[in-house]
Amino acid sequence: MLMRKNRSMTQTFLLNMILVILINTAGIGYFWVSHEYERFDAESRTLREKYVESQKAMIRHEVERAIDYIRHKKAQAMHRLRASVREKVDAAHSVATNIYEQNRIMKTDSRIMKMIRDALRPVRFNSGRGYFFAASMDGTEELYPPRPDLEGKNLLSLQDAKGKFVIQDEIRIVREHGKGFAEGYWPKPGMSPDSSSHKVTYVRHFKPFGWFIGTWEFLDDVENDIQKEVLEHIVNIRFGKEGYLFASTYNGDPLFSNGKITQGSGNLWNLTDPNGVKLIQEQRKVVENPEGGFVSYMWRKLNRQTLSPKISFSKGFPDWEWMVGAGVYVDDIEKVIRQKRIELENRVRGHILKVIFILTALLFVTYLFAKYLSHKIQTNVEIFSGFFENAAVRAAKIEQESLYFSEFKNLAGSANQMVDERIQAQESLQESEARFRQLANASWEAIAIHDKGRLLLANEQYFEMFGYPADELLEKQALLLTVAPESLLSIKEHIRSGNLGPYEITAMRKNGERFPAEIRVRPLEYQGSMVRVAAIRDMTETRKAQEAFLKSEDKFSTIFKSSPDSIVMTLLDDGSFIDCNDNFLHTMGYDRDEVVGKTSRELEIWENSDVRKLFVKELEIRGEVNNFESSHWRKDGSVIPVLISSRLVSVGERPCILSIARNMTDYKKAEQEKQELQKKLSRSKKMEALGLLAGGVAHDLNNILSGIVSYPELILMDLPKDHKLRKPIETIQNAGLRAAEVVQDLVTMARGIASAKRVMSLNLLVREYLNSLEFRELETRYSAVRFKTSLAPDILNISCSSVHIKKSLMNLVVNASEAIQGSGSVRIATENRYVDTLIKGYDDVRMGEYAMLTVSDDGPGISPTDIERIFEPFYTKKVMGRSGTGLGLAIVWNTVQDHKGYINVQSSEKGTVFELYFPITREDATDPETKILMEAYMGGGERILVVDDEADQRKIACGMLNKLGYAATAVSSGEAALAYMREDDVDLIILDMIMLPGMNGRETYEQIIRLRPGQKAIIASGFAETDDVREAQKLGAGQYVRKPYTIEKMGIAVRDELKKAGSRNEVQNGL
């Protein structure tokens, strides 16, 4: 039979301690390392996702920039085509004119005709496909280089692919306009006769022989040229580290890639990555979406053979059936992640070394401590060994104080009991009592044995609790000394009823101090008779804790009642209200007795019962809900938005919901006001942008209109009043002036327009409009409309442009009249208005003093959808061109903005009210302008230099100045002006502010005053008054004259500037 191996208790204890330390250290280390790696994995995923999103955003931005560039270049095709053919025909016309002028005296017409044909016949352009042709006004072909056999033949019946009579259309254009564009459709050379392409022709009248000279170009040829330009531009685009663009057609023909044009290098429709992704076919799918899309695949990086994951973004340009894309490799982030992983592993190794060091130290300390304990145990064991060795021969007790551990002391007690039993039974009983006393003294409660109130035995805690020494209570009626009189009867009742407790009494110390106590009683057989053993606990600290708890409950109750948010306690199962605070009652409009005990269904608080179900379900799953948005019915039937946060709590054994609800009405209102402000700001910026656009268009139109407005005025000055051409020329002039008025409307939209302002009364402006021809015509047209006025007699003055104010008033009155269906009334009113608080409306009217102009009608009103856009240019419900230009309210808006005023619009089915607020001035009104006679601004031979890049403008300005008695000279650029001024001097310079290319007006004036300090100048432009204008005026330039020119406007500006310090002639004459 195998013998079990003996084990040393000390060695087992030592090994177990070491094992526990090792297991705990390994477990903690394992969980810590696992947590570090999990956190690293999560951070890596987040870093990878953010990197991919940023790269996708980058390539999308680059592709969309390229598409925008392509779209921009595509839009230039027709403009470029027209400019190209016009420029070439103008050049051919100049050649023909020069040949004619140089030879018309010495040579016959037929000889000159041949010279012109010979000069133009060999000319080729546009890669050899372009040439010049010429025909007479009866349709006879005079020059046709590709088919000389057709020269001399009449081609009036020639038709294009759509049946249009080409020569007849060109003759009509020349007769009506002298020059112009014609469009048709012709087969291109080398194409099928059944196909046709859009062809644009430009012709110009050559008057000496009654010819017209022209050339043409196919639109798609121009687009092909533009496509080549586009490819050469975007093929070189680079971005990021290795980013580039690529493109192909919709059917897979390559265009360019990685900085190289690959057009014609082979179809890529079946191009496939190693995973089987058809790249071009996938890109073709995503470009069906106008916004483009992403394609993921595997591809080799530049100069590498390994495959890497790649994401590309592609977007289509349907007009050319191009797909443009850019890609990015998404594995570059892996280098960063690998580096971070290395750093993590190094950090983990460092921590492991620290743990190993700490573990070694712990093991060493544990070993020393275990050796110390082993020594103590060994000593105790040797004492017991000696006791048992001597027990057979003598009854010697063990000295318990010599033992270190309580367990050995207990064993020693048992061993000593065995000895005592051998000596005598009494000693055994005394030992038993000693053991009981030791056990009782170990308790934190007071323990006592009573026999009908007489104290037989008690532990130390008992005497300490009541403050008596043992000899004053033992064998005495201790209850009378330790229990308050009022509790003695209670104790007797509990004993009589057999209640063993626990129950509370009022105890009493020796010093008379009373304190709460809890008592439990059990019957016990002691020394042959039945006695009672009592355990008594001092409840003083417990009562203090309870009182503190009650105080904390009071604090919670205070918070509950005084919270600015609604707080309620409801049952989870049916929503019954247990309690609610005053804020909830105030917010919902209920009394407390109307709420407590009722369910939320009975009160119908939740606007949507399904929302409550969702709320309760989420609460049951998570145990809490935060910031849950809902809507609640108030008692008065109104609905308020609320934000709820709730927790599951237990009241008794029933699950309840403790909820805090915040009334979000004010917050929602503030959010709505913020959105309204953003909408108004966006609207203002939009109007400003449209105004700038209109100003730019107006500048170009003013230059064009100058000839129509100014030349008739010059011609009429030389024509007698009975001349037969006077009436047609006046008709041309009036048409030009009407066109100029439309342009002036566009200029009004350009913020910062150069308009003089005078101090005037709104009442005067209203009366001037009511006496105008326009208003009388309006009254006649809308005879069923009654016009009423209510003008404040004490209206304050404003600084204003009278033209724009009256124009705005006219537009509002016209719109009001047109809005009335049948009969009705339009009211015009003025009043002083002091605004001392912010007025919320279509515009927010700031505090201040205003003169207010009101135009109202009783028409059907403006719909809420339309009222947001009524001030946008060209936004109208009328028929464009018949009932207006669509600029009326846009002019009103910009006029008010330029006067630093505000507009408020109110509209309903009962009518519409427009309120225009203009800041007042305390200055006196200025005198009205009077017509100045031409003699007042005639010149005296002063020399004036006109600087303008437009030839027509130079001719017009010089013609007017010469008529006014000045000696005018013109140059076409700022550089030419400088060259002129180096050689000669002038009395005044008229500078066009915008000249392209080269120096503008301000730059030119800066150079001139360096050359000739104090040189007088005035500024001219068809655009708004810009920063350059103001800078030039600071340098010394004079008035600003807006195009188109008129004799009066030009003459007054020149006269006023020359009068400032005397003309050059006056200075020379010593005046």
Each residue of 552-599: pLDDT tens digit? 566 666 777 677 788 888 887 767 788 888 888 888 888 888 888 777
The pLDDT score that the predictor gives to residue 97 is 94
- pLDDT tens digits along 912-926: 999 999 999 888 877
| Under 8 Å between Cβ of 690 and 872 | yes
Q: Which of 124-138, 680-694, 960-974 is predicted with the least confidence, judged by mean pLDDT?
A: 680-694
Residue at 54: amino acid letter: S
Q: Where are the beta strands (DSSP E) in 144-232?
A: 179-186, 197-206, 211-218
CB 824 within 8 A of CB 785: yes
- Which residues, at least 6 apart from 118, have a Cβ–Cβ distance to it below 8 Å? none
pLDDT at res. 1065: 41
C-alpha span between 1009 and 876 (Å, rounded):
50
Q: How many residues does this entry show for the chain? A: 1071
- pLDDT at residue 740 in the model: 62
pLDDT of 145 reads 93
Q: In one letter, which amino acid is 191?
A: M
Sequence-distant (≥ 6) Cβ neighbours of residue 94 within 8 angstroms: none
Given the DSSP bridges, would you call strands 824-835 and 848-857 parallel, antiparallel or unpaired? antiparallel
Query: What gap in Å lies between CA 480 and CA 488, rounded to an integer?
Result: 8
Q: For residue 469, say if its preceding peptide bond is cis, omega within 30 degrees of 0.
A: no
The mean pLDDT value for 813-833 works out to 91
pLDDT of residue 746: 55
Which whole number is the average pLDDT over 272-287? 87
Domains of the chain: 77-224 (3.30.450.20), 230-329 (3.30.450.20), 439-544 (3.30.450.20), 564-663 (3.30.450.20), 755-925 (3.30.565.10), 934-1068 (3.40.50.2300)
More confident residue, 443 or 777: 777
| 3 phi/psi in degrees, rounded to 5 | -95, 135
Count of CB atoms within 10 A of residue 568's CB? Answer: 26
Q: Is the pLDDT of residue 707 over 90?
A: no
- pLDDT tens-digit profile of 886-920? 677 878 888 888 888 888 888 888 899 999 999 99
User: From edge to edge, which strands make up the β-sheet containing 654-663?
Assistant: 577-580, 566-571, 654-663, 639-651, 624-633
Distance between start and end Cα atoms, the chain:
151
- Asked whether the predicted pLDDT for residue 71 surpasses 80, the reply is yes
Is residue 1044 within 8 A of residue 740, CB to CB? The reply is yes
**By C-alpha distance, which of 573, 571, 634, 566 is closest to 605?**
634
By the 8 A CB rule, do 205 and 172 touch? no
Instruction: Supply the DSSP string of 427-457, one letter for each residue.
Output: HHHHHHHHHHHHHHHHSSSEEEEEETTEEEE
Query: CA-CA distance, 874 to 890, in Å (whole number)?
Result: 8
Least confident range of 68-72, 125-129, 771-775, 972-976 = 125-129
Q: Which residue has the higher pLDDT, 431 or 850?
A: 850
Tell me the H-state helices in 968-1019: 974-983, 1001-1011
Share of the chain above pLDDT 70, in %: 81
Place of tokens 């057999």: 498
pLDDT for res 839: 61
The position carrying tokens 């402000």 is: 677
As given in the structure block, the two tokens for residue 1019 are: 């500024």
3-state secondary structure of 422: helix
- pLDDT grade, residue 90 (50/70/90)? very high
What is the pTM (predicted TM-score) of this model? 0.34
Q: How far apart are CA 183 and CA 195, in angstroms?
A: 16
Q: What confidence tier does 121 reach under pLDDT thresholds 50, 70, 90?
A: very high
Give the up-direction half-sphere exposure of residue 703: CA atoms within 13 A in the CB hemisphere.
19
Tell me what percent of the residues of the chain surpass a pLDDT of 90: 18
- How far is 903 from 915, CA to CA, in rounded Å? 6
Write out the two tokens for 235: 């093929």
Over 80: is that where the pLDDT of 756 sits? no
Residue among 639, 747, 657, 653 nearest 693 (CA): 747
What pLDDT sits at residue 1032? 86
Bridge partners of 915, per DSSP, are: 854, 904
Which residue in 14, 617, 625 sits closest to 374, CA to CA? 14
The pLDDT value given to residue 943: 93
The whole-chain average pLDDT of the chain stands at 80
